[in-house]
Amino acid sequence: GENVEQHPSTLSVQEGDSAVIKCTYSDSASNYFPWYKQELGKRPQLIIDIRSNVGEKKDQRIAVTLNKTAKHFSLHITETQPEDSAVYFCAASMEGYSTLTFGKGTMLLVSP
């Protein structure tokens, strides 16, 4: 089955800095890679995703890159703000009603 590794487990940055979280996956058949943000005690929220037919996708301060050959994908957050503080999870699946395999999460702390 699919295995997703996520690094780092914790990340502390100063407000305004950039943050990068990296994930690797094992199943070359995976072709859908979402990122979720989870605040303490809240539901995971889908913030951005990428499909295997593109290498990069951007949405305002958030971008995701995908390297299918190396089987890794990354989340980039620029100009971080304290409200970006949360746990971020990467996941992988095959498109079309397939289960998500999650990484263990990265706790991002943005200090003012």
96 near another protein, judged by CB under 8 A: yes
Q: Cis bond leading into 34, ω under 30°?
A: no
Judged by CB under 8 A, which stretch of 14-22, 31-39, 58-66, 74-82 contacts another protein?
31-39
13 near another protein, judged by CB under 8 A: no
Residue 48 and residue 62 in contact, taking contact as beta carbons nearer than 8 Å: yes
Q: What gap in Å lies between CA 1 and CA 3, rounded to an integer?
A: 7
**Between the CA atoms of 61, 88, 84 and 21, what dihedral angle is there, to the nearest 10 degrees?**
-50
Judged by CB under 8 A, which stretch of 13-21, 56-64, 65-73, 100-108 contacts another protein?
100-108
Could you list the residues that contact another protein (CB under 8 A)? 6, 32, 34, 36, 42-46, 49, 51, 89, 93, 95-105
